[in-house]
Chains A and B, each alone.
Chain A
Amino acid sequence: MEHSPPPFFKTGPTPLARLLIFSTLSLAFLVADVRFNYLASLRQVAAVILYPLQRIAAAPAGIVQRIGDFFVTHSSLRADNERLARENFENGALLQRLKALEAENTQLRNLLAARDRLPVKLHVAEVLYAARDPFTRKIIIDRGSQNDVQAGQPVVDNRGVVGQVTRVYPWLSEVTLVTDKSQFVPVQNVRNGLRAVVGGTGSDGTLELRFVPVQADYQNGDELVTSGIDGVYPAGLPVAQVTQVERSATQIFARITCTPLGGVANYNQVLVVASDSTFPPRPVDAKKAPPRAKKGKAG
């Protein structure tokens, strides 16, 4: 089996010594990554080396889809076309109304000397794959710092907020979904304007409203949209719908469960929202009171 004689005398460090060296190195990396956020550049280098493999690995799915596209029947194409034409017509009417409203809104804001709403730019991105890590909810998209994607930008699809860009590589970025346990979105109830923070639960398809008082007016079916007061998410993007409200007298906060409106579990195309969120600096209090800790994002 072995064609060269085993090196009896020169075998280098023993396996145990090597194990100690490499585990120490890994642990050092772990600590540096978790606690101090060093090693970002090393990650970038590894990501660039890995990029061709990732593209090759994503290719078969694309090919399968293209083959599927090739074999669509004439009737389904006709049906699609009809549906799209109808939608286009309806959306056209809506768009005209929206334009009129936008013009009116700008005028009113001018009258009130209020700041204009931020213009928003959208990049279309393809979802390459869902991260294999079972502990987090992340997807990898095919736009990166070379396409002006920045960490912190919100990611939406045609139905609502999907997540937020959390790490950017040259040609790829990682998007943490709203269902991730560490992801929070400031929201507003469309029905009554109540503001709150919605957070992921770590399982697909459920979000949770955090720290909402028991008396707060939430009902099943309430739609939650981004409130826009955080400067990250533009205002008015649909986020979730309330599905269950539990109030118990022994708890300070109500347990409010919601389902995300964006397609967090289907992976095709998403939009990365780039808004120049140059918020004005925090107003200085007249009394120069010592700055209190941030009041949190909930209103």
Chain B
Amino acid sequence: MADARFAPQEILLPVKAAHIALSLAVALMLNLLPWSGAWLWIKPDFVALVVLYWCIEQPRKVGFVSAWVLGLFMDVADGSLFGQHALAYSILAYAGIVLHRRVRMFSGTPQVLHVVVLLLMNDLIVLAIRLAAGAEFPGLQYFIGSFTAGALWLPLGVLLKLPQRPRTDPDL
């Protein structure tokens, strides 16, 4: 296990349901902030990011139901087709749950690479639905958000693990 590609396995406190719910609500709110102009393209889909994080970290606590319901909320907030985000997030949750053991083995860059690919898949699903419904391709800047999300993945992991860290060092 001396290989730097693999993540050191930490011992963390069990995650509280309220903590998960709060993080998802905050992600939803970040998505609802009045972004405009170029920020709209750069901004990652926070809900997809946090849902994917919990599906990888706690696949038995967060899964399809929360992903799907949050997807419906995003559809209402964006005024988009009812069910497009729900479908995309469900598939994202599936990918996260199936790959969670593998992704958690990696640390740093390899983990981010997994995440970016999964989020790009999420974008592609939404794109496919909209193209099927008669929209036009909005340009390649549509995919920028997923790369921003990849850049935010490691800080997000540190942030969301904070409440799970033991208060004091048990060895002392």
Contacts and interface: CB of A to CB of B under 8 A. Distances in A.
Interface string A29-56: 1101110000100110011011001101
B69 to A, nearest CB: 9
Contacts of A46: 72-73, 76
Contact of B86 (A7, A29, A34, A267): A29
A21 to B, nearest CB: 8
B90 A26 contact: yes
B40 interface: yes
Interface in A80-121: none
Contacts of B97: 15
Interface bracket on A:
35 or more
Contact of B34 (A22, A30, A43, A128): A128
A27 interface: yes
Contacts of B76: 43, 46-47, 50
A130 B79 CA distance: 10
A1 interface: yes
12 contacts: A3-B14, A30-B84, A30-B87, A50-B77, A53-B28, A58-B34, A128-B34, A129-B36, A130-B34, A130-B36, A136-B135, A138-B79
A139 to B, nearest CB: 9
A128 B32 CA distance: 10
Contacts, number: 135
A50 B73 contact: yes
B114 interface: no
A281 B104 CA distance: 68
A105 B64 CA distance: 64
Contacts of B129: 30
Interface string B118-142: 0000000000011001011010001
A19 interface: yes
B33 A22 contact: no
A30 B133 CA distance: 10
A54 B64 contact: no
A122 interface: no
Interface string B87-111: 1001100100110000000000000
Contact of A134 (B67, B86, B138): B138
A138 to B, nearest CB: 5
Nearest to B36: A130
Interface bracket on B:
35 or more
Contacts of B34: 57-58, 61, 128-130, 267
B116 to A, nearest CB: 19
Contacts of B30: 57
Given A32-B82, A33-B81, A132-B31, 6 more contacts: A19-B64, A26-B83, A39-B82, A43-B76, A131-B77, A181-B135
A23 B84 CA distance: 10
Nearest to B94: A19
B83 A27 contact: yes
A217 to B, nearest CB: 31
A174 interface: yes
A267 B87 contact: no
A28 B10 CA distance: 42
A165 B156 CA distance: 38
A131 B36 contact: no
Contacts of B31: 132
A33 B64 CA distance: 21
A18 B64 contact: yes
Contacts of B77: 50, 54, 131-132
Interface in A46-80: 46-47, 49-50, 53-54, 56-58, 60-61
B90 A49 contact: no
A166 B80 CA distance: 12
A9 interface: no
